[in-house]
A and B are shown apart, each in its own frame.
Chain A
């Protein structure tokens, strides 16, 4: 198993002194070539879940294992190495530095890892092409459309050829067609390139194409028995794909 979360819990202290249970008793397993989808409303714990899977946040309880090794027992340097070379992420709230060209933005993880500029640029072009965003290479980040920005973000994540991709709402704020295109891209990464993908969204219908889809609410997975039927577990009122298209 590439990624395993076993009975994870996480709480945050609020400035008022109150405690918020961000995650409670969360378990999941993910193998290479699989897409694991998690959906739920804002504040459900989706981003916290991904940050724990990335080793960016330590859980208060339970264990996170990557390739058989417990993340919280790894030295900081080894964790950084994993994030640089094996565990890639796309964060919904991440704002890249201003004034960067797309190609150098995508190549940046390789440059940080001491790869040569020419090789990094070539790999960045390949990653952009894989995400059908090669036409963006010479553009500035602030010139991209929302859909292009997400494709570029995924290209930047996969430029390291990761084994695990953590994608936090990569289809957020996109049109239905663009959402579908992003999920097709993630499916291709999982099923063709054998990347393990853990992806979140607020809407289950966006995650069609995932091998399993789970509903996260208040930090807990709910309706686990129904979770093997992607796209048919939960429907937000008035938000079916057809209704949105008709609108």
Chain B
């Protein structure tokens, strides 16, 4: 039997359901979503506002618990993790990029990028050194001392990408990362998100309504009214698993 050349499965969602209930109304945000993400894979998750994309991302990020089905990461069901284990999972395995950048005002770009490492107990000098390397990767080696307020929107999102990658996560979750950017800058950010995580050996899920994201993904999924399905949009072949540095 020839050995499989496919990278190992990193994340597996099986029949995931999530409802939001209020008096007299239940919203089925995610209805039986199933998907498998392999190491180093790039997925674009497309769909209109309110289709359930962000809820799905929060479920994968361990920030929400599924009402049904399972979310398994590296073979382990997130529902079985303790609070401490969930925190460790998020801190060590995931990198987040948000529409609003979520950078801390007043702290320099380098300090913002260093935060995930400092929270892990990495020594201050080492954390700052690695933050500098991460900023250089996103083309901001000369902007490290500036606070977010003195950076453009595109530069702030690059800082956020550096922060997401500095801890060498296995999976980067990007939620509408181009939502606050103009068209040209958004394209640059998509290109970075399509390339950099892969270079680090990380998978990436680009959640967006920006259909240009498909060009930077290996597979495209579509979400509509809580239903998840593989898109008919042609996608490039699955990547081979890169070597983690």
Contact = CB atoms under 8 A, between A and B. Distances in A.
A98 B105 CA distance: 16
Contacts of A98: 61, 63, 90, 96, 98, 102
Contacts of A80: 108, 145, 147
Interface string B102-145: 10111110010011101101001000000000000000000001
Nearest to B57: A98
A51 B124 CA distance: 28
Interface string A58-97: 0000000000000000001100100110010101001111
B149 A51 contact: yes
B104 A101 contact: no
Nearest to A98: B96
Interface residues of A, number: 29
Contacts of A109: 107
A111 B105 contact: no
B87 A101 contact: yes
B62 interface: yes
Size class of the B contact interface (CB-based, 8 Å)? 20 to 34
A94 B148 CA distance: 12
Given A95-B100, A99-B90, A101-B87, A112 B118 contact: yes
B108 to A, nearest CB: 6
A114 B145 contact: no
A104 interface: yes
B106 A83 contact: yes
Interface of A: 51, 54, 56-57, 76-77, 80, 83-84, 87, 89, 91, 94-101, 104, 108-109, 111-112, 114, 117, 140, 142
Interface of B: 61-63, 87, 90-91, 94, 96, 98, 100, 102, 104-108, 111, 114-116, 118-119, 121, 124, 145-147, 149-150, 163
30 contacts: A54-B105, A56-B105, A56-B150, A76-B146, A80-B145, A87-B106, A89-B105, A89-B106, A91-B105, A94-B104, A95-B102, A96-B104, A97-B96, A97-B163, A98-B63, A99-B61, A99-B87, A99-B90, A99-B91, A99-B96, A101-B87, A108-B115, A108-B118, A108-B119, A111-B118, A111-B119, A111-B124, A112-B111, A112-B115, A140-B87
